[in-house]
Amino acid sequence: MNTTAQDLLTQRTKAAESSKGISSNAIYSAIERVIAGRNLQGKVLDYGAGVGDFSRRLVALNRFAEVYGADIMERPEGLGPVSWIKQDLNGPIQGYDETFDAIVAAEVIEHLENPRFTVREICRLLRPGGTAIVTTPNNESWRSIVALLVRGHYAGFGELSYPAHITALLRKDLSRIFVETKLAAPEFCYTNHGGIPGKPSITWQGISFGRLRGLRFSDNLLAVAIKPA
């Protein structure tokens, strides 16, 4: 590996570590609702597993025969029965073509340099009929729209989120990418947990007794699609 490649790997590793490799319980719970609603089973890959929090939750669901985690970071301690693939996800995972029945990329695609490559990888790793679940910051929420108008950037892409968050995507982008990649057009779901502009610790759900939900009132979205048989 030459110096330039090593420097790039170091930069990507530091960016991954800066995010702490975790997502919120609202995101994880939304993914679990999709898994249960679609009765997903078989072999699952936690794509961008970070410190392994969601990999452990996948094991605890007791519905998958095998759970894998992949990340640029080292295998976390105490991960249990999870097969670990150490891999810079800006590059291909070798040897797992059409291996997985489900792939979850929880808050990963915005960390990576080429979202089209990322979705092509997910499609390649999925078995025909398998399901992809990709979550990312919702840049069409009121909070994010206001941040763009006032601060010149989406809510999840300011200086505090950089260099972890580098690729901002809208639903239109995700739909185009999924279809280009030969996945089915994605169904969009929402965490139904979102902060109000300027005061994200106060949620729309809290001030509306749970009535404000969906696209404009969720900080994160899920794109869910099947790889056609």
Residues counted in the chain: 229
How far are the Cα atoms of 32, 34, 73, 102, 222 from residue 39, in angstroms, in the given order?
10, 8, 30, 11, 17
CA angle at residue 136 from 133 to 140, to 5 degrees?
120
Give me the helices (H) in 115-183, please.
Answer: 115-125, 142-151, 171-180
Q: Which of 6-15, 99-108, 120-129, 163-172 has the lowest mean pLDDT?
A: 6-15
pLDDT band at 3 (very low <50, low <70, confident <90, very high): low
**pTM for the full model?**
0.92
Please enumerate in sequence order all residues whose Cβ is within 8 A of that of 132, keeping only pairs 6 or more positions apart, or say none: 102, 103, 105, 119, 122, 123, 126, 178, 183, 223, 224, 225, 226, 227
Tally helices (H) and strands (E) across the chain: 7, 9
Separation between Cα atoms, residue 113 and residue 109, nearest integer Å:
8
CB-based contact 24:195 (threshold 8 Å)? no
* Predicted confidence (pLDDT) per residue in 131-145, tens digit: 999 999 999 999 999
> Which burial class, exposed, middle or buried, applies to 216 when counting CB atoms under 10 A from its CB (0-12, 13-18, 19+)?
middle
* Mean per-residue pLDDT over the chain, rounded: 94
* Predicted confidence (pLDDT) per residue in 39-70, tens digit: 999 999 999 999 999 999 999 999 999 999 99
Task: Catalogue all structural domains in the chain, each as residue range(s) with its CATH number.
Answer: 3-226 (3.40.50.150)
Backbone dihedral angles phi then psi of residue 178, each to the nearest 5 degrees = -60, -45
Separation between Cα atoms, residue 22 and residue 91, nearest integer Å:
21
Short-list 115, 146, 149, 131, CA closest to 219? 146
DSSP H or E stretch at residue 208? none
Q: Which has more pLDDT, 90 or 1?
A: 90
CB-based contact 199:227 (threshold 8 Å)? no
Q: Percent of the chain scored above 90 by pLDDT?
A: 90
Indicate whether 1 pLDDT > 60.
no
